[in-house]
Chain A
Amino acid sequence: MDIFELTIHQLHNELKTGAVSSLEATKAMLARIESVEPHVGSFITLTPESALAEAEAADRRIASGEAHVLTGIPLALKDIFLTEGIRTTCGSRILHNFVPPYSATSWERLRDCGCVLLGKLNQDEFAMGSSNESSAFGVTRNPWDTTRIPGGSSGGSAAAIAARQATATLGTDTGGSIRQPASHCGCVGLKPTYGRVSRYGVIAYASSLDQVGPITRDVTDCAIMLGAVAGYDPRDSTSVRTPVPDYTAALTGDVKGLKIGLPKEYFITGLDRDVQESMARAIETYGRLGAEFVEISLPHTDYAVATYYLIATAEASSNLARYDGVRFGHRSPQAEGLIDMMTKSRSEGFGAEVKRRIMLGTYALSSGYYDAYYVKAQKVRTLIMGDFTRAFENVDVILTPVAPTPAFKIGEKTNDPLQMYLSDIFTIPVNLAGTCAMSVPAGFSALGLPIGLQLIGRPFGEETILRAGHAFEQATEWHTRKAEI
């Protein structure tokens, strides 16, 4: 197997024994990126020079015997993570020239482990999208079928894994932005419980929903990455002090007696047949492994998408107010006066989807509409949380599809935002409830497109879903298939 195809734990073994150096691995990865990037478009910015320097430093650290499991591992970050001295665009023209003076906590933690940064990954502009088509830096293509979208908003993060352009990546998930692209690209993707990973230095889309998480080749890698980035950060008031367990220790392979809930609202008629079949096979697999099934109800599921598009856009309309051309980012050259400068800079800097959501959110918060929209949405959010709390009184894990269909065609839904929004129908409730969930490869469509299954856990129940995902992975071979690119 080529170096660029290894998982974190496989590459770590090679590095530890000295069979491969981080420099070699990094060079192999950069060469791979060069050859496939024209077909995929995973990256916005590449950082080969600093990557090679970091790899050399990692090799010295490995030689000194003080290596972390992530030391020398070449990875890449969604361009939403601030990286000191390295341009960070968030997929937007308004930040096309923004070089941050500080780094996100999650990147600092990975860097402290000795990771090598290959570059910054493409994404939907400000993480607003489900297809990566709203990026100001061009579309990212699905490595399994380059006429299709990779999913979004962490589309670059998933495509880079599927195309073997990075050993692991970080994404963010506000309504499914890690799980949906992971599902469409045949990777493992985990959205941790809200508060599990610091949001400091991660460009905010919807602050009460945003969460950082890994996209990887397998569940073990996912556990390693989560362990490295999770934990309390005094710079993020919403991060929690719950201790970080050794997530890899949870990967026992044993799911005997595990109670899996199957929410009837998620197995609806009209679900794509291939997705349906994959779910049925997955349930069979878990049955063989000794898990038990409970039919459950999450009665407020129908309201989730509407609720999400009020809360997320309301927060976004405020979070994106700082992009005004005054201190950083795009400033309109043809403006006259302060207000004109701010108006023009924003009009030129933001793309259509971002503008749409800013307007939606501004409307939802406006005087006279606030109670009817924002306050009501918050009340429904409480009901949705309650759905999950009650469900988890009887089950350990909830199993659902990640997305209603496999990856769709590029351009297929760009003119129909509502259809686009519905592609996150199964992932959004988890963000509203603030709990954790992951996407695990669970099959392929008749056209050969990956299909993921979603495992939802209790708040701070990452160990349980990792264990369930790992057991499934051990019993299946979906994750070993590789996109031909």
Chain B
Amino acid sequence: MKFQPVIGLEVHTQLKTGSKIFCGCSTTFGSEPNSQTCPVCLGLPGALPVLNKKVVEFAIKAGLATNCIIAHHSVFARKNYFYPDLPKGYQISQLEEPICRKGWLDIQLEGQEAKRIGITRIHMEEDAGKLVHGDVPGLDDGSGVDLNRACTPLLEVVSEPDLRSSDEAVAYLKRLHRIVTWLGICDGNMEEGSFRCDANISVMPVGSDTLGTRAEIKNVNSFKFVKQAIDYEIQRQIALIEDGGSVVQETRLFDPNSGTTRSMRSKEEAHDYRYFPDPDLVPLVIDADWVQHAHKELPELPEHRRQRFITELGLPEYDAEVLTASRGVADYFEECVAFHHNAKAVSNWLMSEVTRALNDSGAAIDACPVIPSQLAELIKMIDKGAISGKIAKTVFEEMWKNGGEPQAIVEKRGLAQVSDSGAIEAIIDEVIAANMAQVEEFRGGKEKVLGFFVGLVMKASRGKANPALVNELLLAKLKVQ
């Protein structure tokens, strides 16, 4: 029997607001434990939550960018459970009336049609703190609670069970990751847990329309792990069924070291969260003006920009896709093009030299030491024939390392392209004189040898000779007996 996996994802994105969702404490990561706390996020008796308006704005933006309906009326609810990192004994979240509903995102796998993935809901909630064990300064032994993260704003984005493979799941996650980072509402840092995912997975016989029993996989915090966890879980469930067993509804934990999942708690052990509307917070009413205002503040979205790069700037689809991977890259690209209207050349440079340098240094595009105007100037110099593409790479390296304008570097280091035919001819003559054997080969019909001569001439000119001119002059001289 063949099986069809069915996957739905719940993604928690930590919002990049300066302060927490229900109090004024800072959300900075990695501070001294419990230094960013107050009566509200410590859950002290008598403390009351007050909603951070910025969180609502971010949620509206996320909803608009994922084609959701923004609820006019939404309600915060308490999710009750005991855990030492949850100071109030409940998490303030949303259940029956979330802020966003019924959206979608399109994904596209290579060589396949685009596929629309439904988004059931997006809701706002607070994060919990965290437990720290053992090796922590000031903590002699046992465990401690750090509540700096408590009350940090999260958006939970819940997809429909529309995904059918781990590849689709990863493609969806990447799309969502791009949107929230593009909007500037989440830093997208998966290692620090700013973007984390739980996966609901079930399998059913191909052709069936009855969903199988699902397992929820927690704690998958990289695209690679999501793929691993889903693939493992699909195989586990299929093997179980084929062996005559059945899948039990449970929560499972992914172990990145072994690439496997293991049972965390069964349905019977599942919490009864006893959700009910939080009486400390009044219902959130969002009027049309507020939505409209958020709409106006939205940046041009990645999908729209990708299309525009193809139709307006004439880029190939591949380039447009790569250049809209992040808003920073797309912005950088467009700034360059504004200075020098050769979109394809800029695209090539961005996808090769710039990307390589960024990867090597681990820097993000907004921290790129070569600013767009400088890169554009460099490409312009190639296009004008002032330097060769090869020299340009040397100049780029110099710009990256020590800064400076490309023109100044070319002048200072004497890298300008030599297009003086007299000077080049002199070099050619020397090269020919020194390699008569190869000249004979060429004249005997072995035209590949031309490349050998071009290489020698370029080397002798220290790369500065105009390659087109070198070709032309060489051919002329070699052909003349």
Do the two chains bind?
Answer: yes
Nearest-CB distance from A268 to chain B (Å)? 31
Total number of A residues with any Cβ neighbor in B under 8 Å: 44
Interface string of A24-38 (1 = CB under 8 A from B): 000000000000000
Query: Could you tell me the distance between the alpha carbons of A322 and B89 in the complex, rounded to whole angstroms?
Result: 5
**Does the CB pair B276–A314 fall under 8 Å?**
yes
A389 at the binding interface (Cβ < 8 Å): no
Pick the contact of B45: A100, A207, A317, A362 (CB < 8 A): A100
B351 at the binding interface (Cβ < 8 Å): no
**Does the CB pair B276–A199 fall under 8 Å?**
no
- Assuming the A-B contacts A101-B39, A362-B274, are A324 and B45 also in contact, with contact meaning beta carbons closer than 8 angstroms in the complex? no
Binds B, one of A280-288, A365-373, A461-469: A365-373
Interface string of B280-319 (1 = CB under 8 A from A): 1110000000000000000000000000000000000000
**Does the CB pair A238–B282 fall under 8 Å?**
yes
Nearest-CB distance from B270 to chain A (Å)? 10
**Does the CB pair A342–B84 fall under 8 Å?**
yes
For A327, what are the chain B residues with a Cβ–Cβ distance below 8 Å?
Answer: 42-44, 87, 145
For B281, what are the chain A residues with a Cβ–Cβ distance below 8 Å?
Answer: 237-238
A374 at the binding interface (Cβ < 8 Å): yes
**Does the CB pair B276–A318 fall under 8 Å?**
yes
B264 at the binding interface (Cβ < 8 Å): no
Pick the contact of B80: A90, A207, A318 (CB < 8 A): A318
- Assuming the A-B contacts A102-B39, A200-B47, A208-B279, are A324 and B90 also in contact, with contact meaning beta carbons closer than 8 angstroms in the complex? no
| Nearest A-chain residue to B270, judged by Cβ | A367
A384 at the binding interface (Cβ < 8 Å): no
- Assuming the A-B contacts A207-B279, A237-B280, A318-B78, are A366 and B274 also in contact, with contact meaning beta carbons closer than 8 angstroms in the complex? yes
**Does the CB pair B45–A95 fall under 8 Å?**
yes
B468 at the binding interface (Cβ < 8 Å): no
For B279, what are the chain A residues with a Cβ–Cβ distance below 8 Å?
Answer: 206-208, 238, 315
Binds A, one of B48-56, B182-190, B421-429: B48-56
Nearest-CB distance from A91 to chain B (Å)? 12
For A82, what are the chain B residues with a Cβ–Cβ distance below 8 Å?
Answer: 44-46
For A328, what are the chain B residues with a Cβ–Cβ distance below 8 Å?
Answer: 44
| Nearest B-chain residue to A320, judged by Cβ | B89
Interface string of A348-369 (1 = CB under 8 A from B): 0000000000000010011100
Query: Could you tell me the distance between the alpha carbons of A155 and B281 in the complex, rounded to whole angstroms?
Result: 29
Query: Could you tell me the distance between the alpha carbons of A400 and B45 in the complex, rounded to whole angstroms?
Result: 34
For A317, what are the chain B residues with a Cβ–Cβ distance below 8 Å?
Answer: 80, 274
| Nearest B-chain residue to A378, judged by Cβ | B277
**Does the CB pair A321–B272 fall under 8 Å?**
no
Nearest-CB distance from B22 to chain A (Å)? 9
Total number of B residues with any Cβ neighbor in A under 8 Å: 29
Query: Could you tell me the distance between the alpha carbons of A98 and B50 in the complex, rounded to whole angstroms?
Result: 24
B82 at the binding interface (Cβ < 8 Å): yes
Pick the contact of A318: B46, B48, B90, B143 (CB < 8 A): B90
Nearest-CB distance from B130 to chain A (Å)? 13
Query: Could you tell me the distance between the alpha carbons of A22 and B90 in the complex, rounded to whole angstroms?
Result: 45
Query: Could you tell me the distance between the alpha carbons of A90 and B46 in the complex, rounded to whole angstroms?
Result: 11
**Does the CB pair A366–B42 fall under 8 Å?**
no
**Does the CB pair A326–B145 fall under 8 Å?**
yes
B88 at the binding interface (Cβ < 8 Å): yes
Which residues from 75 to 129 on chain B have a C-beta closer than 8 Å to any C-beta of chain A? 78, 80, 82, 84, 87-90
Which residues from 306 to 346 on chain A have a C-beta closer than 8 Å to any C-beta of chain B? 314-315, 317-318, 320-324, 326-328, 338-339, 342
For A374, what are the chain B residues with a Cβ–Cβ distance below 8 Å?
Answer: 276
| Nearest A-chain residue to B42, judged by Cβ | A327
Query: Could you tell me the distance between the alpha carbons of A202 and B281 in the complex, rounded to whole angstroms?
Result: 16
Output the residue of B45, B89, B90, B272 with the most chain A CB within 10 A.
B45
A204 at the binding interface (Cβ < 8 Å): yes
**Does the CB pair B89–A321 fall under 8 Å?**
yes
**Does the CB pair A324–B82 fall under 8 Å?**
yes
Pick the contact of A322: B45, B51, B143 (CB < 8 A): B45
Nearest-CB distance from A222 to chain B (Å)? 24
Query: Could you tell me the distance between the alpha carbons of A101 and B42 in the complex, rounded to whole angstroms?
Result: 11
Query: Could you tell me the distance between the alpha carbons of A203 and B46 in the complex, rounded to whole angstroms?
Result: 4
A234 at the binding interface (Cβ < 8 Å): yes
Output the residue of A88, A98, A202, A315 with the most chain B CB within 10 A.
A315
A201 at the binding interface (Cβ < 8 Å): yes
| Nearest A-chain residue to B34, judged by Cβ | A327
Nearest-CB distance from B280 to chain A (Å)? 5
A104 at the binding interface (Cβ < 8 Å): yes
A236 at the binding interface (Cβ < 8 Å): yes
A109 at the binding interface (Cβ < 8 Å): no
For A314, what are the chain B residues with a Cβ–Cβ distance below 8 Å?
Answer: 276
A235 at the binding interface (Cβ < 8 Å): yes
Nearest-CB distance from A111 to chain B (Å)? 16
| Nearest B-chain residue to A207, judged by Cβ | B279
For B42, what are the chain A residues with a Cβ–Cβ distance below 8 Å?
Answer: 327
Output the residue of A100, A101, A237 with the most chain B CB within 10 A.
A237
**Does the CB pair A235–B48 fall under 8 Å?**
yes
**Does the CB pair B274–A367 fall under 8 Å?**
yes
Query: Could you tell me the distance between the alpha carbons of A100 and B87 in the complex, rounded to whole angstroms?
Result: 16
**Does the CB pair A322–B274 fall under 8 Å?**
no
Query: Could you tell me the distance between the alpha carbons of A238 and B80 in the complex, rounded to whole angstroms?
Result: 21
Query: Could you tell me the distance between the alpha carbons of A365 and B80 in the complex, rounded to whole angstroms?
Result: 10
**Does the CB pair A104–B46 fall under 8 Å?**
yes
Interface string of A229-270 (1 = CB under 8 A from B): 000001111100000000000000000000000000000000
Query: Could you tell me the distance between the alpha carbons of A482 and B84 in the complex, rounded to whole angstroms?
Result: 51
Interface string of B29-69 (1 = CB under 8 A from A): 00000000001001111111111000000000000000000
For A338, what are the chain B residues with a Cβ–Cβ distance below 8 Å?
Answer: 84, 143
**Does the CB pair B280–A203 fall under 8 Å?**
no
Query: Could you tell me the distance between the alpha carbons of A359 and B87 in the complex, rounded to whole angstroms?
Result: 20
Query: Could you tell me the distance between the alpha carbons of A367 and B95 in the complex, rounded to whole angstroms?
Result: 14
Given contacts A98-B45, A207-B280, A370-B276, 14 further A-B contacts (CB under 8 A): A82-B46, A101-B39, A102-B44, A201-B47, A237-B50, A238-B281, A321-B82, A322-B87, A324-B84, A327-B42, A342-B84, A362-B274, A366-B272, A370-B275
* Sampled A-B contacts (25; CB under 8 Å): A82-B44, A101-B44, A200-B46, A203-B45, A203-B46, A234-B50, A237-B48, A237-B50, A237-B281, A314-B276, A315-B276, A315-B279, A318-B78, A321-B88, A321-B89, A323-B45, A324-B89, A326-B87, A326-B145, A327-B44, A327-B145, A328-B44, A365-B80, A365-B274, A374-B276
Q: Which 5 A-B pairs have the closest CB atoms?
A: A321-B89, A365-B274, A208-B279, A207-B279, A201-B46
Residues of B within 8 A of A (CB): 39, 42-51, 78, 80, 82, 84, 87-90, 143, 145, 272, 274-276, 279-282
Residues of A within 8 A of B (CB): 82, 88, 90, 95, 98, 100-102, 104, 199-204, 206-208, 234-238, 314-315, 317-318, 320-324, 326-328, 338-339, 342, 362, 365-367, 370, 374
